[in-house]
């Protein structure tokens, strides 16, 4: 056993076989610059729309914070937003257990998309916005799926870059977080 301790403990930093070779550079298969640029452009547009509110997005779905949602419900964005609609994608028993005041119950993804596309809501003033906020209990599964489906149907029905609903938002944390932070606010139905 002591004879094994006489060997060197650390390896040399370069081995003779790799001393003169350079590491292989890997190339991206997509344009990272264009994706980052698009995200920055989208965020800048939204920041200018909401005047200083930072909007985050995940996989083409914009995320609205709880404070932004309460400000929207209280009318603090009335100078920028002509019409907004809150779409509750919770199951009927969840909706009956409690919901955001004024929310439309649309638990079925396909029916929600069909209903919203058939309405074709439009802001009458060109400098004001039409906003849709979608949520379910946690806003982690049903709502992102509904949001992506609504966006893809909207894209297929319009010539790029036009959209019926350019501002689709997902409520961060869903009804559960909104309920816990606004239990005494009067914004719950």
**154 sits in which H/E element:** helix 142-157
- 90 assigned to active site: no
Mean pLDDT of all residues in 119-138: 86
Would you say residue 19 has pLDDT above 70? no
**Residue 126 or residue 25, greater confidence:** 126
Mean pLDDT of all residues in 126-135: 89
**70 sits in which H/E element:** helix 66-73
Q: What is the pTM of this model?
A: 0.67
pLDDT per position as a tens digit, 138-188: 988 899 999 999 999 999 998 888 888 888 999 999 999 999 998 878 778
Superfamily classification of domain 27-181: Rhodanese-like domain (3.40.250.10)
pLDDT per position as a tens digit, 54-102: 555 555 678 999 999 999 999 998 889 999 999 999 999 999 999 999 9
**What DSSP line would sit under 95-138, residue for residue?**
HHH--BTTPEE--SHHHHHHHHHHH----SSTTSEEEEEEE-SS
Active-site residue (options: 61, 90, 136, 147): 136
């Amino acid at each position: 056993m002591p004879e094994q301790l006489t060997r060197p403990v650390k390896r040399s930093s370069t081995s003779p076989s790799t001393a003169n070779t350079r590491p292989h550079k890997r190339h991206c298969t997509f344009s990272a610059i264009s994706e980052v640029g698009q995200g920055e452009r989208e965020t800048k547009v939204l920041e200018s729309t909401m005047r200083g509110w930072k909007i985050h997005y995940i996989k083409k779905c914009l995320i609205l914070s709880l404070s932004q949602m309460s400000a929207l419900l209280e009318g603090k964005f009335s100078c920028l937003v002509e019409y907004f609609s809150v779409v509750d994608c919770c199951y009927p028993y969840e909706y009956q257990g409690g919901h955001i005041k004024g929310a439309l119950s649309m638990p079925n993804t396909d029916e929600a998309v069909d209903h919203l596309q058939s309405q074709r809501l439009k802001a009458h003033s060109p400098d004001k916005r039409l906003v849709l906020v979608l949520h379910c209990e946690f806003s982690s599964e049903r709502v992102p799926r509904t949001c992506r489906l609504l966006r893809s149907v909207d894209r297929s029905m319009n010539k790029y870059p036009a959209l019926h609903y350019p501002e689709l938002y997902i409520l961060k944390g869903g009804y559960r977080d909104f309920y816990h932070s606004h239990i005494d606010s009067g914004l719950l139905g």
